[in-house]
């Protein structure tokens, strides 16, 4: 029987990958972030990237337990870990994907993503781990989760189980528009004017159908009224988040909302949701990802580890 | 007094520039299209590009009359031709911008774009020339113009005068999403499935607030249901055009709509508008651009030409 004293957690995103060296109790001992997301890595490279990264930690234990989530389990990732399907637990330890590594020093598990077939097709990979982290800490939470990001998720949970979810491409739209569209001349990705942001959310919540017109308005106003980049950026952000809130209303209306994400993003969603009079609470994404990974680690530690 | 027998028309867009050699009666004698739009040209290069292009036509007349419209008159173009402001005629020949060229063989006029300050900031450059072309041929038209493109314009005209207009970034969103977003894996820019397109327009017209969710649906469905690229593309196009029609409803509701643009785009808008029971008619963009340029040419031909 192996002794898993230290272990490694990995969240492999589309643009970045994050490695954590973790103690048995879940304490983070070290963190490494690399710009080697799924978009830039081929399936043959994953194992070497993991081995290269953990070398510096000089880990004694063989095999080393590595618990992973995110896009490495996608069709174009390392190995495709088949989706769980809603209604389901956010993580089912009987459905982990055990990777056949070339190196015998690694014992890698991939946490599967989740698919939603009704009322609409939808998928997540990575967020299920944050959700598990959240529900382990908040088992009595009744309400809706919102995980803002490139592909923002709205998740309906009941008794800690995922009932359904919907994704909004809000973050990706912001990146595309601010870097690649005609709006790139008018905006700056760093600046936020609070009043302008709130006005834009308010305008868009009530007239979401004007989305594509409100985008061009950002450009036209900067040409005709010399609007600052700060105002233009805030208008764009408010238009995007306001449109999303109009569309996700069936999720949040009348519910308590837990926002899980980065400080900056959850702050914006919280201020936008304040307009609706909603009660919101903010939780950190990294913290909950690690809690979700630890949930898997703890479950596996109770079993007699096998090398598959 | 110079003899302007042949003349040159130019429509300088963001990505391409189109040159026409025209007879006095407006007949197109030759056409040249170059990928030298405003995005790739600096202000010092415009005159040489014009001189290089027209060389092959061995034109006798000096100075040569060159009537232009489009982005060469923008702030980052050749010379900034100040906007006209609504309510206004689509072209005011007293407000043409006369370019001080280095070469004495050119007499270049830029047709100014149009700005809208109320009810919302908006701008156009190039479309005013198509609109003038249209109204010279359809002086009794009562209704609304729609000019689909990168930045689709909805234009309210009355007695051939532009009362107001609104721009929707629909075409640019399609380009961004199909080439740079996660949807690039699922779509193909060439294929259209008619039924899927119409269903998407219908869905989106009634639920435009779900815009960012309907985009991700395209991706999720192709992952979970192996949707063809044809269906995914048609769903994306229908979602974009349906959202625009929901937002532009105050323009088209209860009006006759004249669509001016390329055959492919106007065809899609026409089929989408058919769903609303609206009466639409289609007009060609190039033909109307040349008619608008000719309107200016004819007006100037009546004056005694000056070299400014």
Sort out which chain B residues have CB atoms less than 8 A from A207's CB and list them. Answer: 247
Inform me whether the pLDDT recorded for B305 exceeds 70. no
A82, with CB counted inside 10 A (0-12, 13-18, 19+), is exposed
- Kindly report the nearest CA distance between residue A98 and chain B, in angstroms: 22
- Which token pair is A174? 């912001």
Given this model, what pLDDT does residue B196 score?
A: 96
**Percent with pLDDT over 90 in chain B:** 89
Which of the four pLDDT bands, split at 50, 70 and 90, describes residue B3? Answer: very low
Given this model, what pLDDT does residue A304 score?
A: 61
A90, with CB counted inside 10 A (0-12, 13-18, 19+), is buried
Give the nearest partner residue to B173 out of A76, A212, A223, using CB atoms. Answer: A212
Give the nearest partner residue to B213 out of A166, A185, A212, using CB atoms. Answer: A166
What DSSP character marks residue A18?
Answer: E
Spatial distance between the Cα atoms of B98 and B124, rounded to a whole number of angstroms: 19
Sort out which chain B residues have CB atoms less than 8 A from A14's CB and list them. Answer: 182
Given this model, what pLDDT does residue B1 score?
A: 36
CB contact under 8 A, B210 and A247: yes
Spatial distance between the Cα atoms of A297 and A302, rounded to a whole number of angstroms: 9
Query: Contact A186/A196 with Cβ under 8 angstroms?
Result: no
Give the chain A residue nearest B178 (alpha carbons). A176
Sort strands B122-124 and B114-116 into parallel, antiparallel or unpaired: antiparallel
Query: Contact B121/A225 with Cβ under 8 angstroms?
Result: yes
Give the number of A-B residue pairs with CB atoms closer than 8 Å. Answer: 133
CB contact under 8 A, B217 and A122: yes
- Which token pair is A147? 């995980």
pTM exceeds 0.90, yes or no: yes
Query: Contact A138/A145 with Cβ under 8 angstroms?
Result: no
Give the model confidence (pLDDT) of B106-165 as tens digits: 999 999 999 999 989 999 999 999 999 999 999 999 899 999 999 999 999 999 999 999
Nearest 10 degrees: CA dihedral of A238, A241, A244, A248?
Answer: -120
Spatial distance between the Cα atoms of A154 and A269, rounded to a whole number of angstroms: 12
Query: Contact B150/B167 with Cβ under 8 angstroms?
Result: no
- Which token pair is B219? 């991706």
Given this model, what pLDDT does residue B61 score?
A: 67
Sort out which chain A residues have CB atoms less than 8 A from B220's CB and list them. Answer: 115-116, 120-123, 167
Given this model, what pLDDT does residue B217 score?
A: 97
- Kindly report the nearest CA distance between residue A172 and chain B, in angstroms: 7
CB contact under 8 A, B172 and A182: yes
Query: Contact A243/B247 with Cβ under 8 angstroms?
Result: no
Angstrom CA distances, B73 to A72, B146, B172, stand at: 49, 22, 21
Query: Position of tokens 């970045």?
Result: A16
- In terms of Cα–Cα distance, which of B251, B237, B130 is closest to B183? B237
**Percent with pLDDT over 70 in chain B:** 97
- Kindly report the nearest CA distance between residue B152 and chain A, in angstroms: 9
- Kindly report the nearest CA distance between residue A243 and chain B, in angstroms: 6
Query: Contact B42/B102 with Cβ under 8 angstroms?
Result: no
Given this model, what pLDDT does residue A5 score?
A: 81
Average pLDDT over residues B175-203: 93
Average pLDDT over residues B76-93: 97
- State the helix-helix crossing angle for A229-247 and A170-180, rounded to 10 degrees: 150
- Kindly report the nearest CA distance between residue B105 and chain A, in angstroms: 33
Sort out which chain A residues have CB atoms less than 8 A from B115's CB and list them. Answer: 220, 224
CB contact under 8 A, B209 and A173: no
For chain B, first and last CA: distance in Å? 13
CB contact under 8 A, B151 and A216: yes
CB contact under 8 A, B220 and A151: no
Q: What is the pLDDT along chain A (308 residues), one digit of tens a residue?
A: 344 589 999 999 988 999 999 999 999 999 999 999 998 999 999 999 999 999 999 887 679 999 999 999 999 899 999 999 999 999 999 999 999 999 999 999 999 999 999 989 999 999 999 999 999 999 999 899 999 999 999 999 999 999 999 999 999 999 999 999 999 999 987 778 999 999 999 999 999 999 999 999 999 999 999 999 999 999 999 999 999 999 999 999 999 999 999 999 999 999 999 999 998 999 999 999 999 999 999 999 987 655 44
- Which token pair is A236? 């764009």
CB contact under 8 A, B220 and A123: yes
CA A102-A105-A109 angle, to 5 degrees, is 75
- Kindly report the nearest CA distance between residue B113 and chain A, in angstroms: 12
3-state secondary structure of A45: helix
ipTM for the predicted complex: 0.92
CB contact under 8 A, A209 and B210: no
Query: Position of tokens 């939808």?
Result: A122
Sort out which chain A residues have CB atoms less than 8 A from B185's CB and list them. Answer: 76
Give the model confidence (pLDDT) of B247-299 as tens digits: 999 999 999 999 999 999 999 999 999 999 998 999 999 999 999 999 999 99
Inform me whether the pLDDT recorded for B177 exceeds 90. yes
Sort strands B114-116 and B84-85 into parallel, antiparallel or unpaired: parallel
3-state secondary structure of B164: strand
- Which token pair is B294? 């000719």
Average pLDDT over residues B79-102: 97
CB contact under 8 A, A248 and B220: no
Spatial distance between the Cα atoms of B54 and B9, rounded to a whole number of angstroms: 11
Where b means 16+ CB within 10 Å and e means fewer, B282-291 reads ebbbbbbbbb
Give the nearest partner residue to B169 out of A215, A246, A247, using CB atoms. Answer: A215
Query: Position of tokens 């936020």?
Result: A192
Sort strands A17-23 and A28-34 into parallel, antiparallel or unpaired: antiparallel
Query: For all residues of chain B together, what is the average pLDDT?
Result: 94
What DSSP character marks residue B96?
Answer: P
Query: Position of tokens 């009355």?
Result: B158
Sort strands B84-85 and B64-70 into parallel, antiparallel or unpaired: unpaired
Give the chain A residue nearest B248 (alpha carbons). A210
Query: Contact B65/B4 with Cβ under 8 angstroms?
Result: yes
Q: Where are the beta strands (DSSP E) in chain A?
A: 6-12, 17-23, 28-34, 64-70, 84-85, 88-89, 97-98, 106-110, 114-116, 122-124, 143-147, 152-158, 161-168, 257-261, 280-284
- Kindly report the nearest CA distance between residue B116 and chain A, in angstroms: 9
A136, with CB counted inside 10 A (0-12, 13-18, 19+), is middle
CB contact under 8 A, A121 and B224: yes
Give the nearest partner residue to B208 out of A116, A120, A208, using CB atoms. Answer: A208
Sort out which chain B residues have CB atoms less than 8 A from A224's CB and list them. Answer: 83, 115, 117, 121, 123
Given this model, what pLDDT does residue B60 score?
A: 77
Which of the four pLDDT bands, split at 50, 70 and 90, describes residue B308? Answer: very low
Suggest the residue from B154, B216, B225, B235 to mutate for an interface test with chain A (most A CBs closer than 10 A).
Answer: B216
Q: Give kind and range of the element (H or E) at residue A128.
A: helix A127-137
Given this model, what pLDDT does residue A58 score?
A: 87
Suggest the residue from A186, A216, A269 to mutate for an interface test with chain B (most B CBs closer than 10 A).
Answer: A216
């Amino acid at each position: 029987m192996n002794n898993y004293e230290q272990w490694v957690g990995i969240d492999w995103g589309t643009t970045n990958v994050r490695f954590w060296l973790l103690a048995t109790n879940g304490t983070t001992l070290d963190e490494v972030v690399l710009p080697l997301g799924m978009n830039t890595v081929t399936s043959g490279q994953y194992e070497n990237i993991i081995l290269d990264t953990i070398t510096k930690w000089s880990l004694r234990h063989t095999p080393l337990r590595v618990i992973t989530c995110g896009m490495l389990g996608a069709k174009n990732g390392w190995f495709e870990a088949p989706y769980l399907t809603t209604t389901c637990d956010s993580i089912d330890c009987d459905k982990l994907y055990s990777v056949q590594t070339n190196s015998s020093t690694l014992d890698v598990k991939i946490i599967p993503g989740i698919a939603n077939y009704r009322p609409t097709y939808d998928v997540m990979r990575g967020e299920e781990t944050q959700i598990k982290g959240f529900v382990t800490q908040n088992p009595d939470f009744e309400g809706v989760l919102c995980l803002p990001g490139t592909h923002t998720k709205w998740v309906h949970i009941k008794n800690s189980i995922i009932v359904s979810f919907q994704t909004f491409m809000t973050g990706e739209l912001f990146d595309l528009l601010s870097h690649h569209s005609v709006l790139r001349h008018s905006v700056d990705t760093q600046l936020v004017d609070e009043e302008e942001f709130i006005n834009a959310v308010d305008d868009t919540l009530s007239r979401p159908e004007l989305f594509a017109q409100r985008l061009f308005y950002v450009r036209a106003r900067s040409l005709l009224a010399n609007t600052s980049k700060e105002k233009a950026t805030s208008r764009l952000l408010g238009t995007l988040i306001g449109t999303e809130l109009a569309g996700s209303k069936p999720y949040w209306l009348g519910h308590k909302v837990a926002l899980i994400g980065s400080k900056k993003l959850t702050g914006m969603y919280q201020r936008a949701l304040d307009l609706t009079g909603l009660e919101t609470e903010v939780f950190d994404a990294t913290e909950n990802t690690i809690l979700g990974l630890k949930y898997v680690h703890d479950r596996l530690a109770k079993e007699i580890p096998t090398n598959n």
